[in-house]
Amino acid sequence: MSVNQYGVIAQQHWARWLPRQYAAISDMESFFTALGEEAARQIDDLTDDLAGEIRHSDSYLACAGRLFAARAIAEELILSQRVLPEAELAADDDQEDVQSECGERPVVVDRNHPSWAEVDAEQQERIDP
């Protein structure tokens, strides 16, 4: 058994942000292998649905672009739903401290998160206008 990329992402996320649930897992490799494989299947299925049928009139680049965009959207949706659950709040944390001004919890994006490059680019633009 081998944990795929989505299982690795999940394991790192759970270890950091869901420590109680992570500690309760009896067989880490089996759990994260199964989670990663299920996420990969769901991403593949959703990618196919989002990309639609390839038409003979489409150029190679148009097809590749549509597939790439569909894959990115599918990964973002499935990872947020299945692989990257919301972080646990410590018992002594004040929930108001964690919430943003609009009342929602901020999204935590680390280097392994699919949105890292986008968030990092935005931060660099703010630092170096």
pLDDT digits (tens, 9 = 90+) for 61-120: 988 998 999 999 999 999 998 899 888 775 444 444 444 445 566 666 777 877 788 878
**Whole-number percent of the chain with pLDDT over 70:** 83
The pTM score is 0.64
Choose among 114, 120, 96: nearest CA to 106.
Answer: 96
Choose among 4, 64, 63: nearest CA to 29.
Answer: 4
Mean pLDDT of the chain: 83
Spatial contact of 93 and 99, defined as CB atoms under 8 Å apart: no
pLDDT number for residue 121: 82
Distance CA 79, CA 114 (A): 9
Q: Is the pLDDT of residue 52 over 50?
A: yes
pLDDT tier, 129 (very low <50, low <70, confident <90, very high otherwise): low
Spatial contact of 86 and 102, defined as CB atoms under 8 Å apart: no
Output DSSP code: residue 58: S
Q: Is the pLDDT of residue 3 over 70?
A: yes
